[in-house]
Amino acid sequence: MVEIRNANERGRAEHGWLSSRHSFSFAGYYDPEQMGFSDLLVINDDRVMPGRGFGKHPHRDVEIFSYVLEGALEHQDSLGTGSVIRPGDVQLMSAGTGVLHSEFNPSPSERVHFLQIWIATARNGAEPRYQQRTFEPAEKRGKLRLILSPDGAQESLELRQDARVYAGLFDGDEAAQLTLDEHRFAYVHVARGSVTVNGQVLGEGDGMRLRDERNLSFSNGRDAEVLVFDLRNIEMSEFWQ
């Protein structure tokens, strides 16, 4: 079964320094029909003005990753980590027993556009940790590159959940296929551009839920960047229950 989540149906938050779109319920946006999908809890599409950002705040027992599309994002946390992530970088913070962090746009003139994504953890009370890796465009060009996985396969970042995340870049004749194991769910998010997925055209910000669809096909991209989530076949994570 396939279900489309159009970009213009997302929740919207405008704070002057921050323009955000919520694929699922988050903060002041609540929709009982959009409480995540399987273990995928949050996809926030954020644009932050120069010199602004999210002050230090706490999280626990959730997997949080950031994916920068434009600009740069400066990260600080209570684990002693300080880093700047740019397009191509993937940052994964496993909050575990608790962590404080801040995310800030260090540029005096350019905004930063990034996705912040939450995935439910399978290991409550674990030790907090931070991971970061650069995935070059060539690794994603015309293919789906594994960037997060439970076992760190193919030099992906190690996620504390039975989930896998792929990133791909598609333009023109470039095409790729992804075959899932039986009885899995999947979610596709188009970060930018447009692409045809299983015969349906998706544009920037669109999402697609797939239940028990083994094969995913990507083609006819127009400057497209996509994230694909391979998920357990549960309707809603226990995180929200």
pLDDT value of position 235: 86
Helix residue ranges, H only, the chain? 137-140
Residues in Cβ contact with 241 at an 8 Å cutoff, skipping those fewer than 6 apart: none
For residue 30, the domain's CATH number is: 2.60.120.10
What is the domain range of residue 161? 2-240
Dist. CA 144–CA 168, nearest whole Å: 5
pLDDT value of position 77: 87
pLDDT value of position 111: 97
pLDDT value of position 238: 62
CA 152 to chain CA centroid, nearest Å: 17
CA atoms 59, 165, 86, 136: torsion sign? positive
How many domains does the chain contain in total? 1
pLDDT value of position 237: 66
Say whether 33 sits in a helix, a strand or coil: coil
- DSSP annotation string for 60-74: -SEEEEEEEEES-EE
pLDDT value of position 229: 98
pTM recorded for the entire structure? 0.96
126 bridge partner residues = none
φ, ψ of residue 240 in degrees (nearest 5)? -95, -5
Dist. CA 206–CA 171, nearest whole Å: 17
pLDDT value of position 241: 57
Q: What is the pLDDT along the chain (241 residues), one digit of tens a residue?
A: 899 999 999 999 999 999 999 999 999 999 999 999 999 999 999 999 999 999 999 999 999 999 999 999 999 989 888 899 999 999 999 999 999 989 999 999 999 999 999 999 999 999 999 999 999 999 999 999 999 999 999 999 999 999 999 999 999 999 999 999 999 999 999 999 999 999 999 999 999 999 989 999 999 999 999 999 999 999 876 665 5
